[in-house]
Amino acid sequence: MNGDWLVRGRDGRLSVYLPSGDSVLCRAERGPGGPWGIPRKMGGEQRLHPGFTVGQGADGYAHLVAWRPTVKGESGLVHSTHYRPHLAALDWQSTGHPNKKGDVTGAPAVAVDARGRAHVFVRNRGRGVSMVAQKEKGGWEPWRDLKGRLVEDGLAAVTGESGRVEVYAATPGGILYWRQETAGRPPVLLEALEAPVRPGTLAALATSAESTTLFYSDEAGDLCAWRPGGKPYTLLPSAGPGPVAAVRCELDGHDCTLLAQRSASGRVAFAAYPTQDERAGAWWTESGPQLPADATIALTTDEDDRVTAATRSPSTGRILLTRRKDEPGLALEAWREIG
C-alpha cells in the first residue's frame, strides 16, 4: 500500500484504513481521543485486488484508490471519497486503465491538490508513469502519459504547501521527479537524479512553502533525503528494510520532521530533526513491542497536534497506537491495541 492509512479527519477524529480480503475497511474514533468504533466497509460491494492507497486534501477528505478485476485477465482503477469518519464513503467509481485496458500495472499513488481534486499516478505497461485527475465539476479527465523509462513500482505522490502536486519514481540507478508548474495542469518531468536508490523505499513530505523532501534508502542501506534542485544528503543508516513514515510536527517549540520505520529488531524506530536541516543530525530510538515482518507504520498528528503513531499487521489483524505525552522531547504513551 502506498500512502497514509492513518488520517485525522476534519472533525479531529482519527481513522485507520485496513485491507480485508477483497475490500477495504475503516475504523474511526467515536470522538477525538475516545474509543474506537467497529470496522466499516468502504465504497460498496465491488471486489478489489489486494492493496490500496489513501490520500488526503487540505479539506480533510480522504481519497481511496485501488485496482478491481473487470473481465478475465483485466483490471481497472477505482476511486472513492470518504468525507467524514462517521459517514459512509462514496461508492467506488471507475477511473479506467492507464493503457485503456489490461491487467494491474503497479501500485497506485494519489495526491490531492488545493482545490480538493485527486490526482492518481501509476506505472503503466511501458514502465513509464501515467496519471488521471478529477475534473473540478465532477468526473475524470483523460489519462495522460507523463513519460519516464524503466520506472520501478512504488511511486511517491505528494502535494506541496503551494497546493501543487508532485510525484517521484525510482528507476535503475536514479530518481525521476515531476511537478505541476501551474495549478490544474499535468505535472511535467523536471529532474532526473542519479542515485543508487533501493526500489520500494520512497516517501515524500511537504517541508516548506517551496519544497518537498523525498526520503529513500540507497543500495548501501542508508536513509537519504533529497529536495529537487539540490543534492541528496545521507541522514543515518536505515533502521530496517522498508520505507519510512514521515510527518512534520512541533517538538519543544521547533518545526521538526519525525521519521518512523520498522527496525531490524522488529520494533518501531523513531528519529527526529529540525525540518530541512538534515546536517543537524538524527538518530534512531526504538519503541514498543516486536512486530511481525509484515507490519507497517503510519504517522499523523491528532486534534491537539500531538504526534500519533500506529502499526498494523495483516497477518495478525492487530492495530497498535501511541501518542506523544505532554512532556519535553519525544516521550510516548504506552502502545495499546485498538480493541
Residues of 90-123 as b/e, b for ≥16 C-beta within 10 angstroms?
bebbebbbbeeeeebbbbbbbbbbbebbbbbbbb
173 and 267 co-located in one domain: no
Q: Please check the confidence at residue 339 and state whether its pLDDT lies above 80.
A: no
What mean pLDDT, rounded, does the chain reach?
A: 94
Quote the number of domains for the chain. 2
217 and 261 co-located in one domain: no
279, part of any domain = yes
257 and 291 co-located in one domain: yes
Assign 65 to helix, strand or coil: strand
> 35-46, pLDDT tens digit by residue?
999 999 999 999
Q: Please check the confidence at residue 191 and state whether its pLDDT lies above 80.
A: yes
41, part of any domain = no
218 and 312 co-located in one domain: no
101 and 219 co-located in one domain: yes
169 and 198 co-located in one domain: yes
State which residues form the domain around 314: 243-339
Mean pLDDT of 267-295: 96
Q: Give the domain-ending residue among 238, 269, 298.
A: 238
pTM: 0.95
207, part of any domain = yes
231 and 271 co-located in one domain: no
Task: Report d(CA 82, CA 227) in Å as an integer.
Answer: 31
8, part of any domain = no
Task: Report d(CA 138, CA 83) in Å as an integer.
Answer: 15
* Residue 240 binned pLDDT confidence (cut-offs 50, 70, 90): very high
Best CA proximity match to 18, nearest among 42, 35, 37: 42
Half-sphere exposure at residue 168, Cβ-oriented, CA atoms within 13 angstroms: 28
191, part of any domain = yes
Tell me how many degrees the CA angle 322-248-162 measures, rounded to the nearest 5.
140
115 and 212 co-located in one domain: yes
Predicted local distance difference test score (pLDDT) of residue 1: 36
311, part of any domain = yes
Q: Please check the confidence at residue 2 and state whether its pLDDT lies above 80.
A: no
Q: Give the domain-ending residue among 199, 218, 238.
A: 238
101 and 230 co-located in one domain: yes
189 and 271 co-located in one domain: no
Residues 174/193, Cβ–Cβ less than 8 Å: yes
126 and 259 co-located in one domain: no
The DSSP call for residue 72 is T
Question: What percentage of the chain reaches a pLDDT higher than 90?
Answer: 88
Task: Report d(CA 259, CA 224) in Å as an integer.
Answer: 12
34, part of any domain = no
Q: Give the domain-ending residue among 198, 213, 238.
A: 238
- End-to-end Cα separation, the chain, in angstroms: 23
Predicted local distance difference test score (pLDDT) of residue 3: 55
> 46-96, pLDDT tens digit by residue?
999 999 999 999 999 999 999 999 999 999 999 999 998 888 999 999 999
Mean pLDDT of 221-231: 97
Q: Please check the confidence at residue 310 and state whether its pLDDT lies above 90.
A: yes
178 and 264 co-located in one domain: no
Residue 221: give its domain's CATH number.
Answer: 2.120.10.10
Predicted local distance difference test score (pLDDT) of residue 236: 97
64, part of any domain = no
